[in-house]
Structure 1
Amino acid sequence: MQAKLRMVDAIIEVHDARVPLTGRNAYFEQNLLADTSKPHILVFNKSDLIDKKYRQPVENEMKSKDKKVHSIMWTDFKHKPMVAAADLIDIVKDSVTNMQRYNRDYRTEYNAMVIGIPNVGKSSLINAVRNRVLGKKGKATRVGDRPGVTMAVLNRITVHENPKIFLIDTPGILAPKAENIENAMKLALCQTVLETTLSESLIADYLLYYLNKRQLFEYVTEFQLKSPTDDIYELLFHIAKSRRLINKSDKDCKPNFSAAANFFIACFRSGRLKSDRFMDFDLLNKS
């Protein structure tokens, strides 16, 4: 990827808006961005999943710590792909056509590399921009709802004709390990790491801790509890009982805590709990 980086004119860094501070990978700044003055566009995708009140504080934090960021965007490439695509292509055109190209002035086309941690919407971004600008149907880049779908650096994809602009998709890249267990849990809840690395019960336990810490007690009403609880198995037992989630292979019909944990997590991710899904609240307040 570093070899490809030398040939690009701009970098589009995509992150999940729910974890804008946790999600940023130190590898990008230390290895890919440290020695470049090329335009750096920071895209916070899935912004429909958080309250707009967090946008300005996050932007202030980013601009104060990363002077290389040229522009910051908040997008929803899943539900409003055409709007997001139009906004992004305008920013890319403005960035690359007004930049100093050093010894590459003879080239008439421009290249922008899309980077980011897994499952933040990089491929959806490329497909939306491609469809919006060229009117092409279908998907040039494979899209999935699990991390790690894009497995190799792909060929350039044309997203604009005049001037000629190409986007280059890349695999999701995540640091070998999170800085701490809480960061790992946040990333797991946002599905930016494979959940096989953490048990669903452990992720559910962190989710309950997070909701209680933020005093987000919508789960009490949703699951018809008498009051908030800090006992994950009490909650999972109630969910399993109410939804008849049992281990069918068990003669005693014991509750299926794994299925209950997955249901609890799914309710949070989908917005069914109606709880605030901005996961970096504490980090933002510390800065």
Structure 2
Amino acid sequence: MLTHIPFPALPVPPSWFPGHMLQFQKMLPALLNKTDVVLELRDSRLPLTSINRNFEGALQKWRRERGHGPSTASSSLDTPTAGPSNGPICERVVVFSKRDLVPEWGIKPFQRALANKYRDQQHFFASWNRTRDIKALSELLVNVAKEHPYRSELNVLVVGMPNVGKSTLLNALRNIGIAGPTPKALRTSAHPGMTRVLSTRLKLSVEPLVYAYDSPGVMLPFLGRDMTGAERGVKLALIAGIKEGLYDTEALASYLLYRLNVLDPVSPAYLKLLPSGTPPLLDVHEFLNLLAKRLCMLKRGGVPDSSRAAVWFIRWWREEGGLASASAPALPDYSAASGMETFRRGWGFDLEWSVDAAQAGRYNEATIQTKMEECIDKFEEAAVEEEREGGSISSTQEKKRLKEQQKTRQRARSSARLAARRGA
């Protein structure tokens, strides 16, 4: 068992914010004016990193304008109502995609932790290949529409970062909600950035009428400074949320090796790729060399091709290794490390905490939930601190913002002087 897992060195995060993302971000407040339900998609493997804080301001304003404070729980989703409501509909549902790629033991504790921390949101975990998940989400939307029978239709807007499964979800909801064969309405891709413009309205249900819009995936304009930004960028690149080619694959492989070790320090998922009897590894170069030999990826002279092995390792994790890593136990086998006082545990790539070996016998869902709530608190505190220190915007973007402000002031002064001359 690995008793110490060093954090890898990470590259400076790139910037990837094409013009269509900025355009949609500017459109969002106007779109929300005609939206009843926001489906905000995140990736279960990155339940915190896949939050796009650039949406928060517009979403909170939308709720306030419709009479919902930031801490107001959503009545139509969380509690039964006495009768149909005549007020404006304003529901925010956070859908975590790819639930089959995170350990099942953590889903309920994490849902409860989220419910305690974000009372204005409904949280839903789903996997697009599980029909019951899609049916449950479809019923959720239909029930919201039925609770407001005075409305002729329900309008849903789907938002989220690139490659979290927005288009795939809408195709699945359409297939479930409309009787008979329904052709695929939206193109999907394993690569980020396929959807570049707001879709036309898609009908998801006939009785009651439910329509939805698909939207372009929006990346953060600036991933952050120092280690915070570096780790955020690598995580998003690993789930293919950032355009291919912007990251060195060996750097991604190094971080992936680290995370798989944290998820299961006794028997990490990658061991099945290596010769039998190989112990867990910490050094990415040693790992990639062994993997290259096992896959017969050799250069001239029999030298292991670690670059090809890194590409293969990342693709393996995205396609099947994620399922293998999701089988990691809630606790490792402590008998493999007698004398250890604490252990590191992880769930997904965002949540990590220490476990006191002396309390391992009392490790249950309530304990896991408490640990997860502490992770959420740390995440929120770090986000506030990053915002306060200006870490959410690059120096280049800050210069552009100041330049635009200066131009705006100059135009205002020019207009004032022109108005004064005309008045004279």
TM-score (norm 2): 0.60
1:187 aligns with 2:236: yes
Larger-gyration structure (1/2)? 2
Q: Give 1:114 shift.
A: 0.7
Partner of 2:172: 128
The 10-residue stretch of structure 1 (146-155 or 180-189) with the greater mean CA deviation from structure 2: 180-189
Give the whole-Å Cα distance in 2 for the aligned partners of 1:3 and 1:244: 55
| Structure 1 residue runs of 4 or more that deviate by more than 4 Å after TM superposition | none
1:151–1:171: 8 Å Cα contact kept in structure 2?
yes
What letter matches 1:239 in structure 2? L
2:40–2:92: 8 Å Cα contact kept in structure 1?
yes
1:110 aligns with 2:160: no
Partner of 2:120: 68
- Give the secondary-structure state (helix, strand or coil) at the position aligned to 2:54: helix
Give the whole-Å Cα distance in 1 for the aligned partners of 2:127 and 2:272: 29
Q: Give 1:132 shift.
A: 1.5
Give the whole-Å Cα distance in 2 for the aligned partners of 1:136 and 1:84: 20
Q: Any stretches of 5+ residues in structure 1 without a counterpart? A: none
Give the whole-Å Cα distance in 2 for the aligned partners of 1:33 and 1:246: 54
The 10-residue stretch of structure 1 (233-242 or 88-97) with the greater mean CA deviation from structure 2: 88-97
1:275 aligns with 2:294: no
> Percent of aligned pairs with the same residue?
29
Partner of 1:4: 31
Partner of 2:105: 53
Per-residue CA distance 1:146-191 (angstroms, 9 max, x = gap): 1111111111101111221101100111212334222222222222
Query: Whose helix proportion is higher, 1 or 2?
Result: 2
Give the whole-Å Cα distance in 2 for the aligned partners of 1:114 and 1:12: 5
TM-score (norm 1): 0.87
Give the whole-Å Cα distance in 2 for the aligned partners of 1:252 and 1:2: 60
2:138–2:176: 8 Å Cα contact kept in structure 1?
no
Give the whole-Å Cα distance in 2 for the aligned partners of 1:198 and 1:158: 38
2:145–2:153: 8 Å Cα contact kept in structure 1?
no
Give the whole-Å Cα distance in 2 for the aligned partners of 1:162 and 1:238: 58
**CA gap 1:9/1:117 in 2 versus in 1, 3 angstroms:** same
**CA gap 1:84/1:212 in 2 versus in 1, 3 angstroms:** closer
* Residue 286 (structure 1) aligned to one of 375, 392, 417: 375
- Superposition RMSD on alpha carbons, in Å? 2.3
Give the whole-Å Cα distance in 2 for the aligned partners of 1:52 and 1:217: 17
Per-residue CA distance 1:128-152 (angstroms, 9 max, x = gap): 1111222343211111111111111
**CA gap 1:57/1:65 in 2 versus in 1, 3 angstroms:** same
2:101–2:325: 8 Å Cα contact kept in structure 1?
no
Paired residues in the alignment total: 276
Per-residue CA distance 1:187-242 (angstroms, 9 max, x = gap): 22222222322111100011112223341534234312632222211111111122
The 10-residue stretch of structure 1 (58-67 or 162-171) with the greater mean CA deviation from structure 2: 58-67
Partner of 2:52: 25
Map 1:131-210 → 2, pairs under 5 A: 131-134=175-178, 135-179=180-224, 180=228, 181-210=230-259
